[in-house]
Structure 1
Amino acid sequence: MKWGTKYGPEYVNRLYGMVRRHLSGDFSFICLTDDATGVRPEVRCLPIPPLNLNLKPGQRDGAWKKLTTFEADLHGLRGTALFLDLDVVVVGGLDDFFTQPGEFLIIRDYPRFWRTGTRIIGNSSVYRFELGAHADVLANFRAHIEQAQRDHRNEQVYLSHFLHDQGKLGYWPAAWCPSFKYHCIPAWPSNWWREPFIPEGARIVIFHGEVNPPDALAGKRNKRFAHIEPARWIAEYWKE
């Protein structure tokens, strides 16, 4: 999904290139967007369905838009869908993401400090589902928008709890989708001279919360007193 101006068409184009190099066989690559300008012709661009939020002036609907992927009829699309955030970097094979057992699969959100791996929350940078099979996720949200936003910090918390309560929530193997900021940056003080690395078993590196692929490639962080060396391997993967 691409909306607004934060990410340009180059993110879509590079994501397609990475998927094409790492996924065997034929597939359809869909971008739900409000602006298809500059997107390569292999990508089918379709409008983002309305979420029907009652926004206050200046309020953004943000990542809640992801819930529209669960429309009962999403532009007539059918089949198994693998959702990928625009700012991920694909570094390994993707075929297993379509054969891994489970009704709905998502990244188990990354443990922080005292938190453990038993949290049910999923990180929605990468999730797989059957198109049209979870329309109740979106229907329930639209019917209880204010309560859902009051009870859940963001869309992935809402989504995780909703599907967990139905017994449908499953997770990718932990090694497949590492976090760049938690798993790729060497521990202090070696982060000052060691380059960020690709963890063993990684398939898709997730960039969330702090740094994006071009910043990591340039060795930039947006946290005070934090430091990373340039992650030069990103240039090998993050390209058309």
Structure 2
Amino acid sequence: MSNILAASGGVKQVICINWGTRYGAPFINRLYAMVARNITPPFTFTCFTDNRDRLRPEILCEDLPPLDVAEMPKNSPGIWQKSRLWGPKLGNLKGQVLFLDLDIVIVGSLDGFFEVGEPDDVILARNQTTPFERLGQTSLFRYPVGKLVPLQEKFRANPQGIADEYRFEQRFVTRNAPGGAKLFPRRWVLHFRQDCRWPIPLNYFLAPRLPRDARVILFPRNLLPQHAIDGQFGGKGKIATPLGHLRGLFAADRREKNPLRYLRHYIRPTPWVADHWRE
């Protein structure tokens, strides 16, 4: 048994969080299925949620952990509800847990995420959108239960101030993790738009590629896996042929006003996402 898994009795503990109506059972069930196909047992999958309807029986459900905050930050791009998971207790879990966002796509083995580092480490995926800043990504990160209590206390004391200073919860975790934050290998966790989509003009002729060494693919907040499967521009429900998308450049109601951004955001339908993002 590895030292990393000793506190959990050799069990790989995977967790996620769900609140509100944006995701729900379809995303949670798919995430569980992807984990189960890509991990060596024994493992557990625990969802902290405010709605248990239609979840697979294999999923361990827990209520959302309490967070004594009168008002969550406003006008902040960070997903600060994740701070609920930073408390001294996390259901019945002990030791290291691997947190996964609900909208990721798992394409390779998760075992390595439980093998690198030390039992007391906080390890995050590397943020791909800030190449000149050593920044972690909390779409996937591993930490010992209770290790992030100082962060939760600091956030609870001044939620809006913390959000205004750091903007994103991942920057807050990276900068303030007790003992410092480590990062998983760069190529294990990739960003769909940056690492899979082809640059202009190839994105109009070639479907996004799946890099050979990828294990997890992250999706930006306005582009979900289903949008990639369908080839929807910007996740706005608009599906267009390459020619139709080019014509949209001259539309008066074009949402993306920057012409270059508009052109580079086009993606062709991506079948490999459907192959992995399923129950």
- TM-score, with normalisation over the residues of structure 2? 0.78
Secondary structure of the residue aligned to 2:79 is helix
User: 2:43 is paired with a residue of what secondary structure?
Assistant: coil
Task: Return the offset for 1:60.
Answer: 8.7
Match of 1:173 in 2: 185
Q: 1:182 to 1:60 in 2, by over 3 A?
A: closer
1:48 is matched with which residue? 64
Secondary structure class of the residue paired with 2:232: coil
2:232 is equivalent to residue 216 of structure 1: no
Code of the aligned partner of 1:109: N
- Cα RMSD of the aligned pairs, angstroms, is 2.1
| 1:215 aligned counterpart, secondary structure | helix
d(CA) in 1 for partners of 2:43, 2:201: 44
Q: Helix, strand or coil: the match of 1:51?
A: coil
What does residue 200 of structure 1 align with?
Answer: 212
Contact 1:120/1:161, CA 8 A, preserved across alignment: no
* 2:143 counterpart of 1:104: no
**Which consecutive aligned stretches of 4+ in structure 1 deviate over 2 angstroms post-superposition?**
50-62, 143-147, 223-226
**Do the aligned residues in 1 keep the contact of 2:126 with 2:189 (CA within 8 Å)?**
no
**Higher mean Cα deviation, 65-74 or 176-185?**
65-74
Inter-partner Cα distance in structure 1 for 2:58 and 2:223:
28
Q: Is the 8 A contact 2:98 2:143 kept in 1?
A: yes
Aligned residues of 1:210 and 1:221 also touching (Cα < 8 A): no
* Unmatched segments (≥5 aa) in structure 1: none
Alignment deviations for residues 53-104 of structure 1 (CA, whole Å, 9 cap, x no partner): 3328987997211112111012232132000000000000110000111411
Structure 2 matches for 1:181-200, cutoff 5 A? 181-200=193-212
The Cα shift of 1:207 comes to 0.6
**Pairing of 1:1-240 with structure 2 (within 5 A):** 1-55=17-71, 63-102=79-118, 103-112=121-130, 115-116=131-132, 119-163=133-177, 166-222=178-234, 224-225=262-263, 226-240=265-279
Match of 1:46, SS state, is strand
* 1:233 counterpart SS class: helix
User: Could you report, residue by residue, the CA deviation over 1:113-165 in whole angstroms, capped at 9, with x for unpaired residues?
Assistant: xx52xx132111000011122222212221233431231102112111111xx
CA 1:108–1:58: 2 relative to 1, 3 Å: closer
Distance apart, 1:19 and its partner CA: 0.4
Relative distance call for 1:58 and 1:205 in structure 2 (3 A) is closer
Q: Structure 1 vs Structure 2: percent identity of aligned residues?
A: 32
1:198-225 CA-to-partner distances (Å, cap 9, x unmatched) read: 1131000001233110000001122544
Kindly indicate whether the alpha-carbon contact (under 8 Å) linking 2:78 and 2:163 is maintained by their aligned counterparts in 1. no
Q: In the aligned structure 2, how far is the partner of 1:221 from the partner of 1:5? A: 23
In terms of Rg, which structure is larger? Answer: 2
Deviations 1:9-35 (A, max 9, x none): 111101101100100011110111111
TM-superposed CA distance for 1:111, in Å, is: 3.7
Distance 1:28 1:56, change over 3 A: closer
TM-score, length-normalised on structure 1? 0.90
Is the contact between residue 53 and residue 61 of structure 1 (CA under 8 Å) also seen in structure 2?
A: no
- Aligned in 2, Cα 1:85/1:189: closer, same or farther, shift over 3 Å? same
Q: Distance in 2 between matches of 1:41 and 1:62?
A: 31
Structure 2 spans left out of the alignment, 5+ residues: 1-16, 235-255, 257-261
Q: Which string of whole-angstrom CA distances, capped at 9 and with x for unpartnered residues, describes residues 22-51 of structure 1?
A: 000111101111111111110011111232
